[in-house]
Amino acid sequence: MYSAEKQNELYQLSKQLLAANNGLDLAAQVTALHEVISYHEWRYYVLNEPVLSDFEFDGLFSLLKRIERENPALLSPNSPTQRVSADLIENFNTVTHLSPMLSLENSYNSEDLREFDARVKKLLNLPAEQDLSYCVEPKFDGGTIVLYYENNLLQRAATRGDGAKGEEITPNAKAIKTLPLQANFTQHTLQKVELRGEVLMSKTEFERNNLQKQKTGEAVFANPRNAATGSIRMKDAKEVSRRNLDVFVYQIAYAEDENGVNDLARFGTHENSIQLLQNLGFKTPKLNTERKVCDNIQAVIDYCNHWEEIRDSYEYEIDGMVIKLNDIALQKRCGYTSHHPRWAAAYKFKPKQASTKLLNIEFQVGRLGAITPVAKLAPVELAGVVISSVSLHNEDLIKQKDIRIGDTVLVERAGDVIPQIVKPIADLRTGAEQILVFPTHCPACQSELERAEKEAVWRCTNTLACPAQQLGKFIHFASKDAMNIDGMGESICERFYKLGWLNSLTDVYKLDFSSMQKLEGFGKRSADKLKIAIENSKQNPAYRLLYSLGIRFVGRSVSKTLVAAVPKLQDLAKLSAADLMKLEDIGEKVSAQVVAAFANPELIALLDELEALGVNTSRLDSELPKVIAADSNLPFAGKTVLFTGTLSKMTRDEAKIFAEEAGAKIASSVSSKLSYLVVGEDAGSKLTKAQQLNIPILSETEFLALIGK
């Protein structure tokens, strides 16, 4: 439906529209919003692979509604606000629902709920002080299902579809054990009934299914929602049965009696209708523990707040609560818009946050001398992960947020991925908290720190003797992204460094393996394995060696560009800054660092010695640049991508290969020319700078979705 290039364009346009000043006039915004909302509906409902968070999508929809409300001339019949979302899949037969299924209007706080209550009273011509009864239920995060019963038998099950039509999934629905295949509706004089519900996988079953998949070598489910929605569209109903799904039924949408009359008001209240379903054997939210009838809007607010606090202890994933006017006759009087019922609303929970104690702030010394403050926290579980350390990036951020040692702080996993301190809770201060005094000297070597103009980072300039920097260089040299020496990880490098075996990078290729075998916990097998890995690293492409040297601003992508320009690494000493800046993506800062590095005779001597030890320093044919056709339809054709933080679904190498296969060029640093920054856990200054430059930010999941992985 959408080409990869078009998807990239619409994603970037979405981020632009979400910005406070997007640079578009109102008419252009409306046109753009029509297009991007339709695209995101397709990704969410059809592919089940959203590339925006629910909050961001809601922001786009709210923006369009506001513009249309304030500028009626811009409202058109084909606006997304005038229809419901699309969800049709070609693999299943399309069926028509007996009653159209609309979306729900979202609310995010108590003020929104009070406004909803006021609107309902206005529609009903009721005084503002009169209380209304509402039924409040969990907003399940699974796959919507529409069920049709006739003469007590389940005749058909379908997906939500476009609200009017859906895809028939009857065999899969019948495989779900919690769904009755028959129910005695006729004892209530009902012949044809259409129900709405949610297919879910419990957290327990999610863990069981993933454990089984790991044992058989299959790809695991990303989350319970994807597991549920993917399961109901499977072609093998037996596999659906094995996954132990649940169906919660939460509404009677159509109820025709023996005379052919459809009248939901016969039930009196929504609560009565749910109780009837429960009595007939359907799984429904339990009264007073999961669903509750609230006598007024304040009780609704209190119940929503209660559920927001206990959501993580619930066996199923929920992302909010659903509020429905309880009296069905009053529902009918309120009516509907083309998008949502006026008598119901969804209350969306806030992003997952937790408070904890900031115990201390420690300082890490990077291999290039950067001093990074790291907050040490009292361990706190957040979005399924225990957080005990959070990067504070730099001194300026700490001052800006007024973070103090001893503070109770609010921690959030941004996008449920990157832990960060949102703010200190100043009201809980006792006076014992300490304002951070940033060190003036390196914590590793006591050398004086320097901070370059226009930089936020303090650095240790003792590049030759600082033990933390020296150790960091060996760790970097042996890492997967650099020389990829398997078995020479951080702990081994530290051990060899403390033993005095590593003083120069050339020492990696002079290790005494007979002595190594005698080390406690090592042995001949480990020594032999490491020896093979070191020997294999000698044949690496030259760009890996260049990257492993740890020259500032010279990442893997820049290394590849530089190596492609010269036959041999040592030849880079012959190029001036002007020569280097003629190369693609090489700017003034990079060229200055490269010129300075290769002007140092010690570096040339190091490369010569490595070459004498058998390490490749010459360009391979495979390192010459590959030409991508200008009319390429690859997802990231013509785009530059940079990765930062720890990736959980793939290695950094795999991520870069995926990006390059999708047509991207891998950038070495954040600049205004960067197309996308892909962030993993513990993203640092690159994320901060990208946000300042309004560079589009992608989570790991969003990146994989855009490239179709």
**What helix, strand, coil percent values describe the chain, rounded to 5?**
40, 20, 40
pLDDT at 174: 87
Encode pLDDT of 215-250 as tens digits.
777 777 767 887 888 888 887 888 888 888 999 999
Instruction: Name the 3-class secondary structure at 324.
Output: strand
Mean pLDDT, the chain, integer: 86
Distance CA 383, CA 405 (A): 24
Distance CA 173, CA 247 (A): 9
Asked if the model's pLDDT at residue 680 lies above 90, the reply is no
pLDDT at 37: 86
pLDDT at 655: 84
pLDDT at 19: 81
pTM for the full model?
A: 0.47
Q: Quick one: pLDDT band at residue 87, thresholds 50, 70, 90?
A: very low
Encode pLDDT of 375-392 as tens digits.
999 988 775 578 899 989
pLDDT at 337: 84
Encode pLDDT of 263-278 as tens digits.
999 999 999 999 999 8
Residue 250 or residue 82, greater confidence:
250
Asked if the model's pLDDT at residue 305 lies above 90, the reply is yes
pLDDT at 309: 85
Average pLDDT for residues 304-309, to the nearest whole number? Answer: 91
Helices H / strands E in the chain, number of each: 24, 24
In contact, 566 and 542? CB cutoff 8 Å: no
Average pLDDT for residues 670-682, to the nearest whole number? Answer: 81
pLDDT at 418: 67
Instruction: Name the 3-class secondary structure at 583.
Output: coil
Domains in the chain and their CATH numbers? Answer: 4-82 (1.10.287.610), 94-348 (3.30.470.30), 353-429 (2.40.50.140), 467-623 (1.10.150.20), 640-706 (3.40.50.10190)
Whole-Å CA distances, 109 to 55, 63, 238, 359: 13, 18, 43, 32
Encode pLDDT of 307-333 as tens digits.
988 887 899 989 899 999 999 999 999
Distance CA 392, CA 579 (A): 38
Order of strands, sheet of 640-644, starting from the edge strand that comes earlier in the sequence: 665-666, 640-644, 676-679, 697-699
> Among 2-16, 179-193, 475-489, which stretch is predicted with the lowest mean pLDDT?
2-16
Two tokens at 619? Answer: 């360009």
Q: Quick one: pLDDT band at residue 48, thresholds 50, 70, 90?
A: low
**pLDDT above 70 coverage of the chain, percent:** 93
Task: Collect all residues with Cβ–Cβ distance below 8 Å to 139 and sequence separation of at least 6.
Answer: 318, 319, 320, 321, 322, 346, 347, 348
pLDDT at 240: 85
Q: Quick one: pLDDT band at residue 563, thresholds 50, 70, 90?
A: very high
Two tokens at 67? Answer: 């513009």
Q: Quick one: pLDDT band at residue 446, thresholds 50, 70, 90?
A: very high
134-140 and 318-325: which strand pairing? Answer: antiparallel
Residue reference for tokens 């700017």: 587
Asked if the model's pLDDT at residue 141 lies above 80, the reply is yes
Asked if the model's pLDDT at residue 146 lies above 90, the reply is yes
Q: Quick one: pLDDT band at residue 62, thresholds 50, 70, 90?
A: confident
pLDDT at 91: 59
Asked if the model's pLDDT at residue 51 lies above 90, the reply is no
Distance CA 121, CA 31 (A): 34
676-679 and 697-699: which strand pairing? Answer: parallel
Asked if the model's pLDDT at residue 644 lies above 70, the reply is yes
H-state helical runs in 506-587: 513-516, 523-537, 542-548, 556-565, 577-581
In contact, 458 and 685? CB cutoff 8 Å: no
pLDDT at 86: 43
Active site residues: 139
pLDDT at 117: 96
- Size (the chain), residues: 709
pLDDT at 631: 42
Q: Quick one: pLDDT band at residue 415, thresholds 50, 70, 90?
A: very low
pLDDT at 88: 39
pLDDT at 454: 75
